[in-house]
Amino acid sequence: MKEWIGTTDVAIGEPTVVSIGKFDGEHRGHQKIFETMKKIAAESGYATAIFTFGTPPSALVQGQRRPQINTNAERRERLKQEGIDYVVEYPFTEKVRSLTGELFVKKVLMGQMNMRAIVAGPDCAFGKDKSGNAALLKKLGPELGFKTVIIEKETDGSREISSTYVREMLAAGDIEKANRLLGTTYALEGRVEHGNRIGGSLLGFPTVNLLVPENKLLPRYGVYETTVTLQDGRVFRGLTNVGDNPTVKKDRLNHRPRVETFLLDFSGNLYESVIRLDFLRFIRPEKTFPDLEALKEQIGKDLKEVRIPLTQP
């Protein structure tokens, strides 16, 4: 996969089928777009190309920079796994912001990305004041020589699957529902850092503390069953706490949420290594215990629950 990150100096030499959007979470609705793109590409001999922004336009236009379900790096990795050929991650500059929907299609999608087909949802919006939409694409297609394919939204029951829907499930701690919407597991990846050493020295449950990117969306505070993938590819079951660790006051990292994991049946030193956590099940909310002994007792109960195999649907 070839990438253009943070630059407007983009030039794709071969014809492409394109889609544009934030693709936050790359949920089942996005996957439907990717599958349609790949089908058109195979039939027409085109390459597949995604256009997105390094920073969501709403963050600059409305000053609303929300944490992302997937960081930009995670998004690129997922697109690579999907088999996308080109990813364009444009900077959202004032010059770009001033482009009308029509100029964006002509200058960027046609002029730089060599677009010959585009796949979009019925509510797609782009260009200055969201002047670009599905109707404009259908109008410009015959004039400029590209095919427009508008696909229906993927649904979960009566509700459309969207990044907002996924966010709601993560906020509620319904990780199993979020995973169904995503079509994969919600995951965190980060570097293991030193914590307060309370887990191993006082509680008897040594844990690893994950340094999570600040713009990564975290699920509801609480305890989760996870799988832990190490840099060497080994996978362990895990018990992960997301939150503020309210029972332990001596916490040098309490200026931000903590992600702390106990690995079952593992011994070794993981400091400074990068690990991945895949969230499988919400066990209980985070709570304050009267003392460390009570906390230790609860962690023991949590670990016993994690060791019970998940019930198959």
**How many distinct structural domains can be found in the chain?**
2
Helix/strand/coil percent split, the chain, to 5: 30, 25, 40
Instruction: Note whether residue 172 is domain-resident.
Output: no
Under the banding of pLDDT at 50, 70 and 90, the label for residue 268 is confident
Same domain, 150 and 193: no
Which position has the token pair 């590209």? Answer: 146
Same domain, 189 and 131: no
Instruction: Note whether residue 174 is domain-resident.
Output: no
- pLDDT at residue 221 in the model: 95
Lowest mean pLDDT among 92-96, 111-115, 202-206, 296-300: 202-206
Same domain, 89 and 127: yes
The residue out of 125, 160, 195 marking a domain boundary is 160
Same domain, 152 and 189: no
pLDDT digit string, tens, across residues 170-187: 999 999 999 999 999 999
Q: Show the CA angle centred on residue 281, arms to residues 278 and 283, nearest 5°.
A: 125
pLDDT digit string, tens, across residues 34-58: 999 999 999 999 999 999 998 866 5
Under the banding of pLDDT at 50, 70 and 90, the label for residue 252 is very low
Instruction: Note whether residue 241 is domain-resident.
Output: yes
The residue out of 107, 125, 160 marking a domain boundary is 160
Report the C-alpha gap between 151 and 142 in whole angstroms: 18
Instruction: Note whether residue 116 is domain-resident.
Output: yes
Which position has the token pair 């099940």? Answer: 281
Same domain, 45 and 117: yes
Report the C-alpha gap between 156 and 181 in whole angstroms: 8
Instruction: Note whether residue 100 is domain-resident.
Output: yes
Same domain, 6 and 114: yes
pLDDT mean across residues, the chain: 88
Same domain, 151 and 220: no
- pLDDT at residue 63 in the model: 58
- For the cut 90, the answer to whether the pLDDT of residue 23 exceeds it is yes
Same domain, 100 and 147: yes
Same domain, 189 and 156: no
Instruction: Note whether residue 270 is domain-resident.
Output: yes
- For the cut 90, the answer to whether the pLDDT of residue 4 exceeds it is yes
Same domain, 14 and 124: yes
DSSP category for residue 154: P
**pTM of the shown model:** 0.87
Q: How far is CA 255 from CA 66, 179, 223, 241, in A?
A: 18, 29, 20, 16
Instruction: Note whether residue 175 is domain-resident.
Output: no
Same domain, 11 and 135: yes
Instruction: Note whether residue 166 is domain-resident.
Output: no
- For the cut 90, the answer to whether the pLDDT of residue 112 exceeds it is yes
Report residue 79 as tokens: 């697109």
Cα dihedral across residues 5, 147, 161, 228: positive or negative: negative
- pLDDT at residue 293 in the model: 74
Q: By residue range, what is the domain housing residue 272?
A: 185-307
Alpha helices for 85-219 (secondary structure H): 94-97, 101-103, 134-144, 163-172, 175-182, 198
Neighbours of 41 (CB within 10 A): 21
- pLDDT at residue 60 in the model: 55
- pLDDT at residue 203 in the model: 47
Report the C-alpha gap between 58 and 97 in whole angstroms: 11
Residue 302: which CATH number? Answer: 2.40.30.30
Neighbours of 194 (CB within 10 A): 12
Lowest mean pLDDT among 187-201, 213-227, 228-242, 292-306: 187-201
- For the cut 50, the answer to whether the pLDDT of residue 250 exceeds it is no
Residue 102: which CATH number? Answer: 3.40.50.620
Same domain, 12 and 106: yes
Q: Do residues 151 and 52 make contact, with C-beta atoms less than 8 angstroms apart? A: no
- Sheet order of strands, 86-90 included: 2-5, 86-90, 47-53, 16-20, 115-120, 147-150
Report the C-alpha gap between 242 and 261 in whole angstroms: 9
